[in-house]
Structure 1
Amino acid sequence: MTDREMMEFDVVIVGGGPAGLATACRLMQQAQEKNQEISVCLVEKGSEIGAHILSGAVVDPKALTELFPDWKEMGAPLLSEVNQDELYWLGSETGSKKFSSWMVPKTLHNQGNYIISLGNLCRWLAEQAESLGVEIFPGFSAAALSYDEEGNVEGVITGDMGVAADGSQKSGYMPGMILKAKYTIFSEGCRGHLGKELIERYQLDEGKSPQHYALGIKELWDVPADQSSPGLVVHTAGWPLGKEAGGGGFLYHLENNQVSIGLIVDLNYKNPFLSPYEEFQKYKHHPLIAKHLKGAKRVAYGARAIVKGGWASLPSMSFPGGLLIGCDAGTLNPAKIKGTHTAMKSGMIAAELLFKALQSEHPEKELSQYNDEVKASWLGKELEQARNFVPAMHKFGTFLGGAYNWLDQSIFSGSLPFTFKDMTPDYACTELASKHQPIAYPKPDGKLSFDKLSSVFLSNTNHEENQLCHLQLKDADVPIKENLPKYSEPAQRYCPAGVYEVVQQDEESVFQINSQNCIHCKTCDIKDPSQNIRWVTPEGSGGPNYPNM
């Protein structure tokens, strides 16, 4: 057994996203208000806070205002308030129809919201947390859970440094540390690998609908000053996905003459030949979108899975020794297509409960009341009102599902006496390749559309070359023996970073994993039809380094 150093804290938080940082800030605010001393440590696998953060993002400032009422005076990076809000139906590669405001579900109206870089907001929140006394350790991945003798979570173990690809120890090998805590909070974001283990170990999702996901692909462009319209929000539905997949596109004008553009593709799509990345490249050629990018320069690229199951898929968020919060649990509000305010609120509720427990002479090991506190809050009410948004879209399709959601959200505020559920996991929706025809995607033109490798370059992704592969196959034979003949091995196409390839060696097909390219989107862990790929953390600080995303 490896000898490991140990550090002890009152609370350890895993993940430097909005949920984890809101937890840290609120905990220390209470400690200062009550003149109490508590120790809080936050670990983040990215090289810095914000390095792995990617979102559209249009943000509802509701939770931020609760956490820091004077955030404007404090200099929070919310600079572009929404002043134009447009939704279009794209009926073809050239056609578009703008929806009147009354036709848009009220949950999708963005008045009072802000277009931001979520990475920059997290950097700002980290500054506030550190000023309040939180210890933040970037570049340290929480690689494994630490359990006590009774099976309770007692903390996390950070990843070993200096392990070669064959498992041997390189010179300079350093074993990870045990970060022990009275309570450990998991805020890893969508499909957190430790959160996934906790849900399975403690059966936190028993009786729930399976979680559902989408893949969001995003680029950041510098546009000419005369084309910049800070505060403009454009959402689209329809083409290029059509009947092939649910989802939609977005284009947001930020400050500093920048535009963020992206496509969200629901991961319950059936056709194994569909490539979300290539669909996004097509999307940018639509005249409605292309006009915003005329004379512009692409400066950043990234992708991330999005948790979207909502109320029906929300697991129990407490377990012996800690809590699941934010997108690690699945608190995104799909009816608003927003998760930052809900993630922050989940962390703030957690902090209130944690502080009370830490002051108790006999604190409970499991804070099971957290689930009731979430449900009783505006967060719980939002998710309950939006409970049918995703299952209705899955059941009826984009157009009819959208019509139902307009009625449900705009007229009845989510109170219609129906509750739909989608009990089929996303990976199980993938159909056999024999039922579909391969899709001939156009070659990139180098102006609006680009190949995967040039895109990965813009994500500033890097991993140590000689290290254990963080994309683990449960069975190395499955990709070629099972997935290739059945599904034409869809990992080649659903991965937006060119990580997976089927290559020919000595006239045999070989499954090749280019783990150096991985941008940590987690799509492979979700969409692989055989559930044979397991994403785990690479060596500390590996992955993308997103600027302003």
Structure 2
Amino acid sequence: MTERESMPYDVVIVGAGPAGLSAAIRLKQMATEAGSEISVCILEKGSEVGAHILSGAVIDPRALDELLPDWREDGCPLASTPVTENHHWTLSATGKSAMPEFLTPPYLHNKGTYTGSLGSLCRWLAGKAEELGVEIFPGFAAAEILFNEDGSVKGVATGDMGVAKDGTHTPDYQPGLELHAKYTFFCEGVRGHLSKQLIRQFELARESQPQVYGIGIKELWDIDPANHVPGKVIHTQGWPLDDDTQGGGFLYHQADGQVALGFVVWLDYANPYLSPFQEMQRWKTHPEIAAVLKGAKRVSYGARAISDGGWQAVPKLVFPGGALLGDSAGFLNVPRIKGTHMAIKSGMLAAEAAFAAVQEGRSADELDAYTSGYESSWMYSELRGVRNVVPLVKKFGATWGTVFAGVAMWSELLGLRWPFTMKHKPDYKYMHLAANSKPIDYPKPDGVLTFDRLSSVFLSGTNHEENQPVHLTLKDPDVPIRVNLPLYAEPAQRYCPAGVYEVIGEGEDARFQINAQNCVHCKTCDIKDPSQNINWVVPEGGGGPNYPNM
């Protein structure tokens, strides 16, 4: 076995998203304030910072104001488009009804928020981090957790490069690099490959509810200037989903004559014939949405899972030698559809705890100050106040569930705190048998407003080195055809937004094909597979989507 080189740091951060970058910046800020030094590095599996970042996004600047108060005057791309209008529509097949703003809780009004590209914000934050001396390594995927002899986390190792599909070494083989740290922050986003191992190994979810998810599918369009209203924000619910399937659409008028639009389907849906991608394409044909896109051109596409579990699904945040930050911990306010401000704040809180520990000469213990900081922060109270929204909608459906969720939010705002917290169950447990479900007839794409999955994946810039081990692993390779196909019509063919999974042939000739090169790293398969047979592991660094402005 080839011996790996190692590099020591005070703090190693896995993932250059808003949580990881904010943690790195705050660590360096504190070192400067204290007149001391702290070594920090960030590993990013994307080819560059922002390559794997996808969000709507409408961003509450609260945490950014705390981290970098002068960001509006300092060239931050987010500053160009404050939200100017806020609309919430309930769609029927041909029309809409607008929800009066006075009926919605004030924090849903988007006053003082900004809309733009989260990827561009991360690139800007990366520049700020590097100015402070943070080392950022894009194209290097953290593939393995390293442990000390006492079981505490020692750091991570990057994946080997140049390993062929059959496991042999190609002429370009390079062994991974070990990064050792006093503390390691895991900021991998939703359903992180290493984070889920840590949650299982250290039993971090023992006292929390199971995390639940949605899938968000997004497109970026250049639209007719006559249709563009910078800062206009629209959210929709209702059509094309039925009352038992939750989700909704968004359309944000952003800078440079573009709109970001997308559709979210909660992954507790029951019908195995449902395709979130196809539902998104249908949604664009609604007269109100199609009118905005008349004469427009689609320029980018992507998808990602979303953590919907809220306050009760946040696991224990710390373990010996490290912590979970941002989406890896499930920090998302679902009714606000906002998590960036929480990711940034979690990064700051973890950084402050780690900096104090390093200054005290500690290492590889539990950063309890991060937990207590979270529990006394505005993050905690914001999440706690909306904790029953998702379970209410799941229990009572889109119509009555929305009414009850509104009552719950207003009650909490008025100080009438509900004395109970509703529970979750894993999304894959909701899937009905195909024999008890109705197939859905989706129209063929027209190539103007609606598209197929393969042409969409092309716009995501997705690429993987073909001669590498498949990163979509099956615990039992026979399950897709032997179990999932007869019971559930093998739903992987439909829930994947990138056409990764196919059933080729029929009857005894049927076989399951994995087109791993198409994978946009959304993690939906890892979440929704009814047999829990698919395990998403990190591919070779630099692979996956290359989102330019998502």
What is the TM-score normalised by the length of structure 1?
Answer: 0.98
Q: Which residue of 2 aligns with 1:10?
A: 10
Question: What is the deviation of 1:243?
Answer: 2.2
Letter paired with 1:196? K
Q: Which residue of 1 aligns with 2:43?
A: 43
Question: What is the deviation of 1:152?
Answer: 0.8
Secondary structure, aligned partner of 2:482: helix
Question: What is the deviation of 1:207?
Answer: 2.4
Q: Is the 8 A contact 2:146 2:153 kept in 1?
A: yes
1:134-168 Cα offsets, whole Å, 9 max, x none, are 00000000001011111111000101000001111
Q: Is the 8 A contact 2:153 2:364 kept in 1?
A: no
Q: Which residue of 2 aligns with 1:338?
A: 338
Q: Which residue of 1 aligns with 2:314?
A: 314
Secondary structure, aligned partner of 1:81: coil
Question: What is the deviation of 1:17?
Answer: 0.4
Q: Which residue of 1 aligns with 2:533?
A: 532
Matched, 1:501 2:502: yes
Letter paired with 2:229? S
Distance across 2 between alignment mates of 1:533 and 1:402: 33
Change (3 A) 1:395 1:167: same
1:10-40 Cα offsets, whole Å, 9 max, x none, are 0000001000000000000111111111100
Distance across 2 between alignment mates of 1:343 and 1:5: 32
Q: Is the 8 A contact 1:385 1:415 kept in 2?
A: no
Q: Which residue of 2 aligns with 1:419?
A: 420
Question: What is the deviation of 1:105?
Answer: 3.2
Distance across 2 between alignment mates of 1:307 and 1:362: 32
Distance across 2 between alignment mates of 1:98 and 1:184: 46
Distance across 2 between alignment mates of 1:173 and 1:505: 39
Distance across 1 between alignment mates of 2:105 and 2:481: 45
Q: Is the 8 A contact 2:28 2:134 kept in 1?
A: yes
Distance across 1 between alignment mates of 2:464 and 2:325: 28
Distance across 1 between alignment mates of 2:10 and 2:158: 17
Distance across 2 between alignment mates of 1:86 and 1:106: 13
Q: Which residue of 2 aligns with 1:69?
A: 69
What is the TM-score normalised by the length of structure 2?
Answer: 0.98
Secondary structure, aligned partner of 1:184: strand
Q: Which residue of 1 aligns with 2:377?
A: 377
Question: What is the deviation of 1:505?
Answer: 7.7
Letter paired with 1:520? H
Question: What is the deviation of 1:506?
Answer: 9.5
Question: What is the deviation of 1:227?
Answer: 1.4
Letter paired with 1:103? L
Q: Which residue of 2 aligns with 1:181?
A: 181
**Greater CA deviation, 337-346 or 504-513?**
504-513
Distance across 2 between alignment mates of 1:181 and 1:505: 52
Question: What is the deviation of 1:133?
Answer: 0.4
Q: Is the 8 A contact 2:391 2:424 kept in 1?
A: no
Q: Is the 8 A contact 2:154 2:364 kept in 1?
A: no
Distance across 2 between alignment mates of 1:244 and 1:300: 30
Q: Is the 8 A contact 1:107 1:335 kept in 2?
A: no
Distance across 1 between alignment mates of 2:293 and 2:363: 56
Change (3 A) 1:317 1:415: farther
Letter paired with 1:115? T
Secondary structure, aligned partner of 1:3: coil
Query: Mind listing any 5+ residue stretches in structure 2 that lack a counterpart?
Result: none
Secondary structure, aligned partner of 1:438: coil
Q: Which residue of 2 aligns with 1:95?
A: 95
Distance across 2 between alignment mates of 1:392 and 1:418: 15
Q: Which residue of 2 aligns with 1:168?
A: 168
Question: What is the deviation of 1:300?
Answer: 0.1
Question: What is the deviation of 1:363?
Answer: 4.7
Letter paired with 2:517? Q
Distance across 2 between alignment mates of 1:211 and 1:75: 37
Q: Which residue of 2 aligns with 1:486?
A: 487
Query: Mind listing any 5+ residue stretches in structure 1 that lack a counterpart?
Result: none
Aligned residues: percent identity? Answer: 57
1:392-444 Cα offsets, whole Å, 9 max, x none, are 11111122121122222234317432434233200111111111011110000
Q: Which residue of 2 aligns with 1:461?
A: 462
Q: Which residue of 2 aligns with 1:198?
A: 198
Change (3 A) 1:325 1:415: farther
Secondary structure, aligned partner of 1:31: helix
Letter paired with 1:29? Q
Q: Is the 8 A contact 1:318 1:324 kept in 2?
A: yes
Secondary structure, aligned partner of 2:505: strand
Question: What is the deviation of 1:364?
Answer: 6.2
Q: Is the 8 A contact 1:107 1:409 kept in 2?
A: no
Distance across 1 between alignment mates of 2:2 and 2:328: 29
Q: Is the 8 A contact 2:108 2:336 kept in 1?
A: yes
Structure 1 segments, 4+ long, off by >4 Å, are: none
**Greater CA deviation, 396-405 or 181-190?**
396-405
Number of residue pairs aligned between Structure 1 and Structure 2: 548
